[in-house]
Structure 1
Amino acid sequence: MAPVQSAALAACVILGALAVFQVALLAGAPWGRLAWGGQHRVLPRKLRIGSAVSVVLYAAFGYVALGKAGLVAPLGGTAFTAVAVWVLAGYFTLGVAMNAISRSKPERFAMSPVALLLAVLYLVIALG
């Protein structure tokens, strides 16, 4: 398997785990200190809506990775997918910084490495 395909599959596994985490937050799991700035143990309604939106976005992000890797038909064509992968690489790089400056120590230590791994994987996918 080519490195870009391996990176896309790894990114999808991580995004899938994040989606499960967000669904748990949406359902009222007391893990809010790990997300959304870490200000709430159990998320309030507005942030639960954000968690629901995140699940949909993670699915789209995964599809973009798989499309760039040639594992599924790219949405919007190959040019759109190529740009989208670079945008996502930048997004996850920004996520590293945002998680690193979170006031929530649990969020900093749990989510910064996840964002860094996704940033690296999307860079590999973009370069592939």
Structure 2
Amino acid sequence: MAPDYLWAVLACALLAALAVFQGALIAGAPLGHLAWGGQHRILPAKLRVGSAVSIALYALFAYTALARANLVPALVSGGFTAVATWVLTGYFTLGVLMNGISRSKAERLVMIPTALALAGLYLMLAMPETNHP
């Protein structure tokens, strides 16, 4: 099995790509068909705020992955980080389902595999191993 730092780095890379994507949406890029249900080519103000919140959450999610892999100190405790990693595994699994019901075919084609990959990466991080605190 690959070491946890590999799963954490891959998760962070995907989250960084999503953050760049959300930043482009905030800036008015015509990529709205890939996000938020695909109803808008260019996001309205409320959804741009949602994209900004998403970027902040992605940073927290990335920190959780890095803490679980012991690459940065845990914000609260190792036990809290372990639980948070399981919660994020569930969150991304739910994301697979939610993106699956999107009316936007483009969003389904891009975001289902992305959410599935993140769910798998966080699952690998969540599973108990001897190197976790």
Partners of 2:75 and 2:88 in 1: CA distance: 15
- Corresponding residue SS for 1:102: coil
TM-score by length of 2: 0.94
Spell out, residue by residue over 1:11-63, the C-alpha distance to the aligned partner (whole angstroms, 9 max, x if none).
00000000000000000000000000000000000000000000000000000
Partners of 1:8 and 1:58 in 2: CA distance: 13
- Deviation, structure 1 residue 3: 2.4
What runs of 5+ residues in structure 2 fail to find an aligned partner? Answer: none
Contact 1:3 1:124 in 2 (8 A): no
Instruction: Name the counterpart of 2:27.
Output: 27
Partners of 1:71 and 1:40 in 2: CA distance: 39
Identity %: 65
Spell out, residue by residue over 1:88-118, the C-alpha distance to the aligned partner (whole angstroms, 9 max, x if none).
0000000001101110100000100000000
Q: Residue type matched to 2:50 in 1?
A: G
Instruction: Name the counterpart of 2:10.
Output: 10
- Corresponding residue SS for 1:75: coil
- The answer to whether 1:108 aligns with 2:108 is yes
- Structure 1 residues 8 and 114, CA gap change in structure 2 (3 angstroms): same
Aligned residues: 128
Partners of 1:126 and 1:5 in 2: CA distance: 12
Q: Which runs of 4+ in 1 moved over 2 A?
A: none
Instruction: Name the counterpart of 2:46.
Output: 46
Instruction: Name the counterpart of 1:60.
Output: 60
Instruction: Name the counterpart of 2:70.
Output: 70
Partners of 1:2 and 1:111 in 2: CA distance: 25
TM-score by length of 1: 0.97
